[in-house]
Structure 1
Amino acid sequence: MPASYLIGYVALILPAFRISEMTGRLATFLFGLIVFVIFTGVAGNAATAYKFSVLRALQGAGAGFLASTILLVVSTNTSDRSRSLFVAGLCAAQLFGVGAAHTIGGKLAIDGHFRWGVYLVAPLMVAPVILCLPALLADKKPVRTESIFTRVVRFDYIGAIILIGTVITLTTGLVFGGNEHKWSSATVICLIVFGVVGIVLFLAWERLGASRPLFNTQWLHERNLQISVISTLFMSMVFFAHSVFIPILYITVRSELTDSAGRRTAPYWATSMGAALLAGLAVRYRPALARPLVWVGLAISIVFSGLYYTIEVKPTSLAKEQAFYALAGLGLGLAYPAVTYLSQVSVPLEEVGAASVVGHFLSIVGGMLGLILYQACLKSRLIINLDAIFKSNSFLASFDVRTMDIAGLEMSGPTILTYVPDLSDTIGQKMVDSLHTTYILTVPFLAVSLLATLFYKHRHTSSTI
């Protein structure tokens, strides 16, 4: 179900950017707002899982229009220096949204008000309306050299269709893999192959066929932008996955409620948000600090994320875990907005808006890939560690480890440990061992980000970045 929202969101971010050039940013923003609010209300009242998934995809489409317009407003109405503060604020808001899932959503679900987890986001739209509407109303209308008919005709419909189809097939294939179907099944293989082919077709069309491409492939020749894209992709794999796979430890092995598990990881999100704002402030006054902040932040996050491997089933003190989370979050918070900022100052001023939209698009794509890769790793380790134990016990045999997804693990983990007390210690240790393998993925992902950013090119400009 979360995947359906992301499909709508990711598939429409880039088309929404080009649509805003045809209709104007204000019209695009208002359209996205109306679609988002309407389908938020309808999805929250859906009677079946199928309807809920479809409506959530439409809700995500509205969010894609909103996000695209907001990013354009921020990037094109600020100077290189002042933009760092706004970029940091957006990064902090993104980190808060990712980290709040288990804490806020978990509390609502426990209290039997899970639908309010859907409804709640509608009134939150008041904030972007208040912040962005004045800038949208004051936005200078571009001088049109073409009629609206010409702009509509020349819109990149083929690119949009390829992109939407690619997002749907690739996401569906990766979500189905290991859950509804085996990774080796024809269904999963075909969906993933179609998705990969779709990526190649999309890039080829945007480079060779589109007169007004959704994605300007010429940006890929700018080294600093290439590096920022790679780094953003891998960093977002990590912080999206942390929002799910860290709380699982507390829910399954330590039998805590969902909201309580979310609060255990609050130090990670608190320090990451605070560090993001601090990084934005530092770059505002010393733009040359952007690259060092990336390097220092990623190095800190690599070290303390790697120490997650030492987390035990029954810790002698929670303070150590909380310190690891806080310091890993601190490092990521320093690096993420600095990388985002560097990507935007790497392109000409007239392309800054497009670069910001593409950067955000890739951060969400990275988050989706991270969630899927972490889940695949965890599931494979659970099968190796628990399948034989479950099959040897009459009660546990009713749980099929091979088809158990993350939601199933969260729901059944505490029950399993409660009803088989003689095996609870063994199963708990096996679960933690499986999670350790998952957590250690963070280290190579962040290491790739760090290694890539070491090749940032120094820009001799007025801001001395």
Structure 2
Amino acid sequence: MNQTEPLSQVGDPTLDMGEPLQMMPIEEAPTMEGRSNLRVFLVMMALALVLFCSALDSSIVSTVLPTISSDLRSAAGYVWIGSAYMLGYAAASTVWANLSDIWGRKPILLSALVLFFGSSIICATAVNMPMLIAGRAILGTAGGGMLQMVNIIISDIFSVSPMPLVHLAFPSSSRMLIDFKNRRRSLFLGLLEIVWTIAGALGPILGGALTQSLSWRWIFWINLPLTGFAFLVLVLFLDVHNPRTSPMVGLRSIDWGGTICVLGIALMLLIGLNFGGVTFAWNSAQVICLLVFGVVTLPLFIYCEARFARMPLMPLDIFKKAHNSAIFIITFCHSAVATGSDWFLPLYFQATRLASPLHSGVLLLPIVISSSLMSGVVGFVIHKTGRYIEIIRLGNVLVLLGIGLFVDFDSSSSLTKIIAYQIILGLGMGMLFFPPLLALQANVSSGQTAAATATFGFTRSMSASVAVVLGGVLFQNGMNVQQPRLVAAGLPANITDAFKGSDAGANVLLVATIENPEHQREMQNAFSDSIRHIWYLYTALSAVGVVSCIFVKKHVMSEVHTEVKTGLEGNRAQEKKP
């Protein structure tokens, strides 16, 4: 069958906005004009629910870690409960996209949901810390796949371009009737980022509420009805191209070399950083070997992608343009700040304001509301104008300002200051959740959109993992440094010992039980000073993001959209397209 070619290359500034639309034949892939509004609504609702579950589990444990550690009698597992999810999230994120290129989006998304469902049961029934950590690692692997597939499916079925004003003015235009449903990628990404932001910040509140009213195990049980409902809706209503690739042919097409390398890089670097200064000394053989081999594996990964990969995890051509590399740097910096602030602000609230798990989650509402509202506004603006570069630049500046102000937090900061600083950071964060993804997709070919989206997701996931791990290391090392000061202030040995290194975060709720007011104030100061090191790190990363904006360029968003055909034949066809 002859295949209709797109009118112009993605990002081509010479695009003629007045030529008639040429459609991909219906046999190639489902098209948006063939889907009813009800079907689109149900699919988007299910995808939003999938994204909600993925984001919720990244933060729902943050306020209840002390309770879980106490219940399972393992203070050493405090950091690993969160890190295990992030490890799985980052390590396997690109692999999911590669599998979906071979076997199609729908079966891979459904597989991720099944894995998420099963691992939630493992976590909810954990009888010891190793079982919980293993369950969280599998849960993170599935959650990363869910995030990747939602972004890729949205990018597959909706156009990146805004609706031209001329078509809004003349609704009888055939172009308007054909393309109206396609031209909503920025709008839907904006709405889904609102879901992501709300879920990520609602996690601490919901986790605290469930733990106080029922049990911490319910933070995992609630995943079952949510993922089960989403699974059912997607089975019935998600209609995307199904290549029906046979298992054996598909297995031979997997980028095994790249998969092994990227898993090795992510796991060795993140585990090495997690061990450093806590489980083992930074100059220990264990930490040095993990970090060195993690870095050394990177050139091997590049070599495998360039020479052997039939369907590479990360096409190296994407990184040859300064614009794309700058987008990945901005994404890394933004994700680190967004995840780190959601993770460590509750710890700050519990230590300095003696907040309960539920109350510490409520204190996050300023950053939740401001970032959610801004995400919606940004989605609407880009949907109408197609402009993203000004939003990216302003967002980076606001993030730098907001997280920089966090350095001013101490043990006696007023509630007004806490709310104001969070709002500034939240506004900047809301401007950067998805515009960088649109900027990236506008500068790659249609055949590279899925791989570019997967690489974007991997960057975001890896950054979130690094932010939590490094933040935890800085905090724990900071608490170790504070020990002489606490001893000099007269705190008893049984109290100071409870707040050494990795035990500090797990025992944060004990700060409220210190009876001597002066001793309690000293401990609050120790927590505040230790957490400040985390804000310094995130401020430095935000500054890198601001500088990277220099290399982000304007690109015309392609007005023509053809849905992606997956599978081996579809991949070859997409590679021939601009």
- When normalised by structure 1's length, the TM-score is 0.90
Asked if 2 retains the 8 angstrom alpha-carbon contact of 1:22 and 1:148, the reply is no
**What is the letter of the counterpart of residue 158 of structure 2?**
T
1:161 shift after superposition: 2.0
% same residue: 22
Seen in structure 2, the aligned counterparts of structure 1 residues 381 and 457 have a Cα distance that, compared at 3 Å, is: same
Output the CA distance in 2 between the equivalents of 1:318 and 1:302: 21
1:359 shift after superposition: 0.7
1:134 shift after superposition: 6.2
1:296-375 to 2 correspondences below 5 Å: 296-315=394-413, 317-375=414-472
Determine the structure 1 residue equivalent to 2:241. 140
Which of 528, 546, 555 is 1:450 aligned to?
546
Seen in structure 2, the aligned counterparts of structure 1 residues 62 and 425 have a Cα distance that, compared at 3 Å, is: closer
CA shift digits 1:304-332 (9 cap, x unpaired): 322223334234x4122201111210111
Select between 191-200 and 404-413 the one with higher mean Cα deviation.
404-413
Asked if 1 retains the 8 angstrom alpha-carbon contact of 2:401 and 2:424, the reply is no
Seen in structure 2, the aligned counterparts of structure 1 residues 407 and 379 have a Cα distance that, compared at 3 Å, is: closer
Q: Which runs of 5+ in 2 are unaligned?
A: 1-80, 162-183, 560-578
Determine the structure 2 residue equivalent to 1:243. 342
Determine the structure 2 residue equivalent to 1:425. 521
Give secondary structure in 2 for the equivalent of 1:122.
Answer: helix
1:133 shift after superposition: 4.9
Question: Which protein is richer in helix relative to its size?
Answer: 1
Give secondary structure in 1 for the equivalent of 2:407.
Answer: helix
Select between 21-30 and 342-351 the one with higher mean Cα deviation.
21-30
1:125 matched to 2:254? The reply is no
1:107 matched to 2:234? The reply is no
Output the CA distance in 1 between the equivalents of 2:434 and 2:197: 11
1:51 matched to 2:147? The reply is no
CA shift digits 1:233-290 (9 cap, x unpaired): 01111011101221222201221101101111211111111111111110011112x1
Seen in structure 2, the aligned counterparts of structure 1 residues 266 and 130 have a Cα distance that, compared at 3 Å, is: farther
Asked if 2 retains the 8 angstrom alpha-carbon contact of 1:87 and 1:280, the reply is yes
Select between 377-386 and 222-231 the one with higher mean Cα deviation.
377-386
| Structure 1 moving runs of 4+ over 4 Å | 126-135, 460-463
Output the CA distance in 2 between the equivalents of 1:127 and 1:298: 37
Total equivalences in the alignment: 456
Output the CA distance in 2 between the equivalents of 1:222 and 1:127: 42
Output the CA distance in 1 between the equivalents of 2:140 and 2:535: 29
**What is the letter of the counterpart of residue 96 of structure 1?**
I
Give secondary structure in 2 for the equivalent of 1:182.
Answer: coil
Asked if 1 retains the 8 angstrom alpha-carbon contact of 2:483 and 2:496, the reply is no
Determine the structure 1 residue equivalent to 2:261. 162
Seen in structure 2, the aligned counterparts of structure 1 residues 42 and 426 have a Cα distance that, compared at 3 Å, is: closer
Asked if 2 retains the 8 angstrom alpha-carbon contact of 1:11 and 1:163, the reply is yes
Select between 226-235 and 184-193 the one with higher mean Cα deviation.
184-193
Output the CA distance in 1 between the equivalents of 2:234 and 2:193: 16
Output the CA distance in 1 between the equivalents of 2:259 and 2:85: 18
**What is the letter of the counterpart of residue 19 of structure 1?**
L
- When normalised by structure 2's length, the TM-score is 0.73
1:344 shift after superposition: 1.8
Seen in structure 2, the aligned counterparts of structure 1 residues 425 and 58 have a Cα distance that, compared at 3 Å, is: closer
Output the CA distance in 2 between the equivalents of 1:239 and 1:405: 25
Which of 182, 185, 192 is 1:83 aligned to?
185
Output the CA distance in 2 between the equivalents of 1:389 and 1:148: 61
Asked if 1 retains the 8 angstrom alpha-carbon contact of 2:90 and 2:462, the reply is yes
1:4 matched to 2:84? The reply is yes
1:395 matched to 2:493? The reply is yes
Determine the structure 2 residue equivalent to 1:199. 298
Output the CA distance in 2 between the equivalents of 1:52 and 1:153: 34
**What is the letter of the counterpart of residue 304 of structure 2?**
W
CA shift digits 1:417-441 (9 cap, x unpaired): x144332223323332332332233
1:352 shift after superposition: 1.4
CA shift digits 1:365-407 (9 cap, x unpaired): 1011111222222233333333342376433465165533563
CA shift digits 1:201-258 (9 cap, x unpaired): 2222112332321111111012221111000001111011101221222201221101
Asked if 2 retains the 8 angstrom alpha-carbon contact of 1:179 and 1:404, the reply is yes
Seen in structure 2, the aligned counterparts of structure 1 residues 427 and 65 have a Cα distance that, compared at 3 Å, is: closer
Give secondary structure in 1 for the equivalent of 2:277.
Answer: coil
Asked if 1 retains the 8 angstrom alpha-carbon contact of 2:511 and 2:520, the reply is no
Select between 393-402 and 96-105 the one with higher mean Cα deviation.
393-402
**What is the letter of the counterpart of residue 126 of structure 2?**
A
Determine the structure 1 residue equivalent to 2:52. none
Give secondary structure in 2 for the equivalent of 1:210.
Answer: coil
Which of 214, 218, 230 is 1:116 aligned to?
218
Which of 96, 103, 106 is 1:16 aligned to?
96
Output the CA distance in 2 between the equivalents of 1:195 and 1:413: 38
- Greater relative contact order: 1 or 2 (C-alpha under 8 angstroms, separation 6 or more)? 2
**What is the letter of the counterpart of residue 313 of structure 1?**
S
Output the CA distance in 2 between the equivalents of 1:430 and 1:171: 26
Seen in structure 2, the aligned counterparts of structure 1 residues 454 and 119 have a Cα distance that, compared at 3 Å, is: same
1:37 shift after superposition: 0.9
**What is the letter of the counterpart of residue 395 of structure 1?**
A
Seen in structure 2, the aligned counterparts of structure 1 residues 380 and 264 have a Cα distance that, compared at 3 Å, is: same
Asked if 2 retains the 8 angstrom alpha-carbon contact of 1:252 and 1:409, the reply is no
Asked if 2 retains the 8 angstrom alpha-carbon contact of 1:297 and 1:331, the reply is yes
Give secondary structure in 2 for the equivalent of 1:399.
Answer: helix
Q: Which has the larger radius of gyration?
A: 2
